[in-house]
Every structure is written in C-alpha cells, then in structure tokens.
Structure 1
Amino acid sequence: MSEHRLGQIVIERPRNGRRISQKKVTGYKKFLSQITQEASEDGLFSHYLIKNKWRTKYFSDNLSPLERWLKSKVGQPWDAVYSELCQKIETKTLAGQHLISHLWQMVERHVIFIDRLPYSRHNLYHAYPLGKWKDALYVHPETGILCLAKKLPKIPKKKPDDLVVVDKYKEYRKINDLWYLLTFDIPCGAIDKKLHSEIRNIDGSIYIARRRQCNKKEIKLILQQIK
C-alpha cells in the first residue's frame, strides 16, 4: 500500500448496486446531491443522500488500509502517528474529515486501567474492556504511546453445579442442598424462565409433574457428571 495515497486508498472502493435513472431533485435534496457529487469525486462515501434509497448504486468505505497502517505504528508516540497521518491526507477536505472521523472510532484516546485491562472512560457504564470483542487500538494514558489490546480469549462457560439435564422432560436439580429428580409434563426449555423461580420457591408449580429426592446411587452418578 502506498502511504502517499493513504487518504485516497482508505475510502475508495467499487460501488455496489445497479444503475437506474433518477428524477431531477431540487431544493435541499439538490444541495445534498451536489455534496454527494463532490464527495464521490474525492473518493468519499457520504452518509447522506446519494440517490434514492434501494434504487441505485452506492458507495462503501474501505477502512482496512487505515487499520493496517495504524497497527504498523503500534509502539510509537500517538502525537507523532497523528501528525504523520495528517501530512498524508488533506484534513480540510470532506474526504479528509471523513477519514479522521473514522480514526476516532478506531483509536480510543481516553483510557483508564482496571485490573490491568484498558477501558474506555466514555463507556464505563457498560464496563467492557478494550479487546473484548476484537483487537482494539488505544493511547496509553501515561506514556502517550499507541497500543494494541489484543482480542481477549473466550472464557468457557462454567457448567452449573446444581443442575444435570437428563432429557427434555427430566432433570436433576439441587434445592436447599438436596438433590431431586424433576419430571415435567412439557419440555423443560419451553418454561425455563418460569421454572427457575418456581423451583427456587418449591411452591408445587403446575409445570412439575413429579419431584423425587435422589438416592445415594443417583447422587454419585450426578457428581461424576458435574466433575
């Protein structure tokens, strides 16, 4: 990839859709159409009106080159990386501004560390660390270095230690430290949400056709399956 054409490469991509003649637009739509024409000449995909929805060709962003370029700068001071990028693109044009807007989506600049994991200060309400879903770029809050948070490995779900499903009509469940075999008159999955609260209260729910306390042999088998 030529870094000298980064601004053009990032947002240029073949158009999708099909060509259909359009009616002449006037007023505000005409103004939007003119913006679209200017943006398309610069290789820019506009989020506004290009042509009538579902009836013509449309542009799409190609952001992979920008992401690869940023990852190649990991370990360098963010100010230097940003300065270099601004020298490669025309930040005063619509295309340049569009690219910069994507840059802020790719690089998290406001970070706080919790248990050695980087979090976005703007998204603490949801409390997901950067890299939970995919690789994430961020600026280190102390050093100002561009860093990469690798995608976190998936943690396998822990098997419940109070439930063993036999089939869709039967299951072993531990209630108040005692194991029971529960038999249902309809499939367990169909009433799962209702069932959990009913069983927890042991109120003789109509969904449970039979409840029998397990013997020692059954408990031994249950513990083997849980382990």
Structure 2
Amino acid sequence: MSEHRLDRIVIERPRGGLRVSCKKVKGYKKSLDRITREASEEGLLKSFVIKKKYWKSRYFSDNLAPLYRWLRSYTGQSWNVVYSELCYQLDPSTLSGQHILSHVWDFVERDVIMIDDIPYRKMARYYQRSRLDEGYWGRKGKLYVHPETGILCIAKKQPQKKEQNRDDVIKCDRDRQYRKIDEIWYLVSLQAFPLKDQPFDILLQRKISDRQAWNEYGKKVYAFHKRHCTKKEIKAIMKQMKPK
C-alpha cells in the first residue's frame, strides 16, 4: 500500500446503495397516504404513526482494511512515533484527516491494564474487564498501547484449550443436564440470563457473570434448579457411560 495515498484509499471509495432515491418512486407518497387514511378510518392506528421515509440514495463506505494493515505494520514501535507519522500523512487540520483519525481508535486501545501479562481494557463494563485477545478482535488481533513502555502491540488470540470429556456431566437436552456431585447424580435445569443483574447459580452457590457461564456451561445460562435423579434416570446415565 502506498503510504502517501492512505487518506485517499480509506475515504475515496465508491459509495453503496441505490442510484435513485426511494422517495422518488412513482406513486409512493399517494400509496402511503391511502394506507394511512384507510387505517385511520378503521381505527387501527393514528394518522401520525405512518410517516414518509426518506432513504438516502447513496451512503459512504470507508475502506478501513488498509488503515488497519498500516497500523499493524508499525507494531513494536513507539506509539508517539507512529501517531506522529500518521498525523504527518493525514493532516489533522483537514476534514478527511480528522475522519480517518477517528477510525484509528476503533483499532487501537489506549487505556489498557496488564494482568498476568494479558492486556485488558482499563474501563470495566458490567463490573468486568474485557480481554483484548478474545472476542471479535481475536481473529485479526486487537492493537493496543502498552501502559508501561508505550509501544504499539498486538493482542494475538490465545490458542483454545481442547475440551476434555467430563465423566461427571451428561447433557440431557438443551436446558437440562445430569451432574455428578459428591458421588450423587442430579438433574440440573438451566435458564437464560436475565436482562439485568447477575443471576444466582444454585449449582455453584454464587452469582456468576456471562464469562463464567460460558466456561461452566458452554453458553450464557445459569442453573436455577436441581434435584436427585430417579432410579430410571440413573439407569439411563449408566447406559450412556458404557464404552461403545
């Protein structure tokens, strides 16, 4: 990529969308007025509920991949030097330069805290800090400024550990599973997370976060009920545990 054309490569890209505005379609306004009038007469809804939609015929679509590749090529260098070079090329006094610099913070995380040599966002969400080497950015590698050295680094995705087959957990269906606790089999019922607050997990005997739920159950659920398995259920469990 030619560095002196970084501003043009990112912004000057063909816009997507229709060439003709939807509001210019013949008969659109008359059809909308007719539907509104009929619905109002029948008492289905008020006339002001239906409004005209003004779609833009074209929309901007920035090509941000070259910007990410340019930033990634400077990993291992001081962020102050990288940012100075970027400002020299883009000229922040111009509108295009300011627009591209606003996209830089989508790729580079400045407020970082290191915990056991793992980068986390300094600002916690829902009382929990998010790791930079997980989630969406784990595929490409989230860039961040090291809090101690000021070096531009990349948080590479950590290799996933292979799941080991557990002999104390057997899935019954989507919302239930058998669990062996203190040599006793239980039928545990799972439920999706509520919209607010952290739920209390009856199996773990504490409130759990969504990350803990993924680690324990493989999805965002929590255990809200458990009971002893019946003899028939234990017989079915033993049958499933027999080697094939």
Which structure 2 residues correspond to residues 53-202 of structure 1 after superposition, within 5 A?
A: 54-123=55-124, 125-133=127-135, 134=137, 135-157=141-163, 159=165, 161-165=167-171, 173-174=179-180, 177-179=183-185, 192-193=190-191, 197-200=224-227, 202=228
CA pair 142-166 structure 1, distance change in 2 beyond 3 A: closer
Q: 1:20 to 1:158 in 2, by over 3 A?
A: same
Q: How many Å separate the matches in 2 of 1:57 and 1:117?
A: 42
| Higher RCO (C-alpha under 8 Å, 6+ residues apart) | 1
Deviation readout 1:119-147 (Å, 9 max, x if unpaired): 12123633221121221111111111111
TM-score of the aligned structures, taking structure 2 as reference length = 0.60
State the identity %.
47
The one of 206, 211, 219 equivalent to 2:230 is 211
- C-alpha distance 62-219 of structure 1, shift in aligned 2 (>3 A): same
Q: d(CA) in 2 for partners of 1:16 and 1:148?
A: 32
Structure 2, unaligned runs of 5 or more: 24-52, 193-221
Any conservation in 1 of the 2:75–2:154 contact (CA below 8 Å)?
A: yes
Counterpart Cα distance in 2 of 1:22 and 1:178: 65
| Range moving further from structure 2, 149-158 or 91-100 | 149-158
SS in structure 2 of the partner of residue 123 of structure 1: coil
In the alignment, the residues of structure 2 paired with residue 152 and residue 127 of structure 1 have an alpha-carbon distance, to the nearest angstrom, of 17
Q: CA deviation at 1:61?
A: 1.2
- Count of matched residue pairs: 179
- Which ranges in structure 1 are unaligned for 5 or more consecutive residues? 24-51, 183-187, 203-209
TM-score between the two structures when normalised by the length of structure 1: 0.64
